[in-house]
Each structure stands twice: as structure tokens, then as C-alpha cells.
Amino acid sequence: MSGARAVLRCDELTVPPFSDSASGLTRTYLSPAYNAAQDRLAGWMAEAGMTVRRDAAMNLIGRYEGVVGGSPALVIGSHLDSVRNAGAYDGPLGIMLGVEAVAALHAKAARLPFAIEVYAFGDEEGSRFPAAMLTSRAVAGTLHPAALEVTDREGVALAELVDLAAYPSAARSRGEVIAYLEAHIEQGPVLEAQGLAVGTVTGIAAQLRYEIELGGTAGHAGTTAMDLRRDAVAGMAEMVLAAESVARAGPADLVATVGVVQVPSGAANVIAGKCAFTLDVRAASASTRDGAADEILRRFRAIANARDLGLAVRKGHDLPASPCDPALMHLLDRATEAAGHAPFRLVSGAGHDAMIMAALCPTAMLFVRCRGGVSHNPAEHVDPADADVALQVMLGFIEQLGASLEPA
């Protein structure tokens, strides 16, 4: 039972048959690689002393009973799917650490006032179907049936792979779950800069995403004078820098990103008459996020007016901030200190299944240092020693949570 073994198991799942690609890790929801990874994980869960099942959303769940059978559960979870050309640890590490925690308890024949369920969620990334976190939303009971009417890029409908009518039955009731704990690589350089192996997450940032379209006039690159141009790409470039300027002037937790840029019918010798791009704005609080987004869009309108460009803005999604539970954060801090490390708190700029599970129960997150803060990339790296620290903190958290629930 060790964090090092959790890391090795993540590494094992990076190659076929656990990856859809032989040239890098890609494991999409309900693909052959996803199913193979579930099968291997099911074996590890059983070895750790858990009973194993799949729910209607095709989450894999291992359950370790408490002192009393059928008790409500502490859920430990993360996601088994990946982005395309992914790293080994984003998602799976949290699952493997959950399995290791249960294995350590099972080795001592230790039982708690609650059961432990380790969830391997299936569609956190949204890399196959155009809807992220389908399976955790199903468990939390927040999934709208219309969200299941999706088709992947190959034209395969979700309805061809699962029973859509049964899918919502994956929902858990509030009385069945006492709390949710997710360990995850940090996906940023804060812990590394602090020289710390782990940190307690205070919450998940509020997120806004927009799709922006600009319309100008296409023209010949060699014959249209500069003062006569309505260049959509030049306007977009100014807008990208405006978004960066607003975010850099704000608090440290405020970020703004242009991640997708499109120039339809673009050519080397043509002034672009049309272009589109995405804008993603995040901050720890909705008020900071919204204020920044309003200012960015105000500047976009001013740029469009000055350049005589058409501007269309469509809001893609609006995710509220998801604060972690203060009492659970305190337990993580105490467990970190008991493991011989300085407690440290930080916000998550990335979304996680924890933000969905917050609708069902109190949540806590533990970040694990990731070299260079690199994530969603084959260069992801977690030191096994850091994973060991994370495992000790998780076991301390479980022990303290158990003690807090025992009769006085």
C-alpha cells in the first residue's frame, strides 16, 4: 500500500489496451480503452477488499463497508477518462490513491463508522461527447436528460452505448453520502513554487466561457491600403491582448484565456473578412470573474467600433464557484500537519468532479504537486514520494472524519 504503487498503476494505464492510441494516452468515455481500464481497476479494487459494481452511467465503484453494513459512505473519486494525448495522472491518480487508502485499511482489518466508496467517473473531460462531467452529474442528480442527446465526432450517439432511460438511476441520495474527497494533481505551479508536496483546496473557481465572432471585409493583401482595411484578424489580435491586459491587472486568481482561434477561408494573400475565437474567464469569486468579463467585453466592443467590425458574443457556459467545506478543509490541514508537512491552502482554477458533487454533499480536495505545473500533456509528472505524502494525508483525513462521527 503506497503512493508509489498508485503512480505505477497510473503509468500502466497509459498504453494499449488502456489507451485508444498507441502513440500517446487517449482514453475516451465508453471506448474499448475505457472499458479495459475499468476491468483492470476493478481487479485492483477487489484486491483492496472492495466489492465492485458499475452503475447505469458506467461509473466503476468499489465499496468498503463500515462497521455497520449499509452505512452512508465517504466517496473518494476522480475520473478515468482523459483528454487526447494526455498525461498519466490527471484523474487516475485520485482514483488509485483512493484504492491505496482502502487497501491500507483492509490490511489492518480497520472499519469505520461509514463505508468508503471509490468512484471512477467516466466523462469529466468531455473529450468524446460535447458535454463534460456527464457521469458525476448523474451521480449528483443534477443531470438534465436532454444533456444525454449527444453524438461523438464519429457520429456515434451516446444512446448506442448506454441505456439513456436508466442513466439517471446512477443518482445517489443525500442520506447515502456523507462527504466527497478528491485528490488531484495541481495542474499549476503553486505547490512547486512553495516547495510543498500537497495543499488543501479552498474551492473551484467560477468560470465563464464565450464564443466570439468578428466580421470585417475580405480583400487582397497586396492591393488594399492599410487605412481602408476592415481586418477581422487584426481586430481579434487586439482583443486577445485586451483580455490579457484585464486579467494581468486583476488579482492573482483571475485568469483569461483565448484557447481556440478560427479564420474560415483564411489564405496567405487575403485580408480576413471573418474570424472567431473563444474567451474563458475564471476567478475564485463570481464577482471578480463577472467584473473582469464585463470589462473585457466592453473593450471588445470599443475595438470593434474603432475598426468598424461586426461583433457577436455568445455565452457558452457559466459555472459558479464551488467552495470546499470548511470543516473538511480543517481536517485535511490537520492531517497534513500530522503527516509532517506544513498545511497550505490554494484555489483550483480548473474544474473537477468535486464541483458537481457539491450539489450532493460536502466536498474536499487535496492537490498533489505536479512537476512544472504541466497537465493535459504527456509531460505530466508526479514524484512517487509526493504521492506517498498524499496517501498519508488522505488516511489521516479518513481517521479524523471517523473520530468526529463516533459517539462521545
Annotated binding residues for allantoate, written as ranges, equal 209, 269, 282
CA distance 222 to 183: 56
Nearest to 185 by CA among 120, 118, 100, 97: 97
**Range 219-222 contact pairs with CB under 8 angstroms and sequence separation of 24 or more:** 219/270, 219/271, 219/273, 220/269, 220/270, 220/271, 221/268, 221/269, 221/270, 221/271, 222/269
Cell (9 digits) for 229: 482595411
CA distance 219 to 230: 9
CA distance 394 to 384: 15
Sequence ranges of the binding site: 79, 90, 125, 184, 209, 269, 282, 376
Helix or strand (DSSP H, E) at 317: strand 310-319
Q: β-pairing, 206-215 with 274-283?
A: antiparallel
Cβ atoms < 10 Å from Cβ of 324: 27
* Torsion sign, CA atoms 218, 220, 222, 223: negative
Strands (E), 167-309: 177-185, 198-204, 206-215, 219-220, 255-257, 261-262, 270-271, 274-283
Contact at 8 Å (CB) between 232 and 272?
A: yes
Sequence ranges of the binding site for Zn(2+): 79, 90, 125, 184, 376
Cell (9 digits) for 248: 494581468
The DSSP secondary-structure symbol of 361 reads S
Cβ atoms < 10 Å from Cβ of 372: 12
- Which distant-in-sequence residues (6+ apart) come within 8 Å of 115 by Cβ? 63, 64, 65, 66, 70, 71, 72, 73, 74
The phi and psi torsions of 319 (rounded to 5 degrees) equal -110, 125
If you search the block for the grid coordinates 491586459, which residue do you land on?
Answer: 245
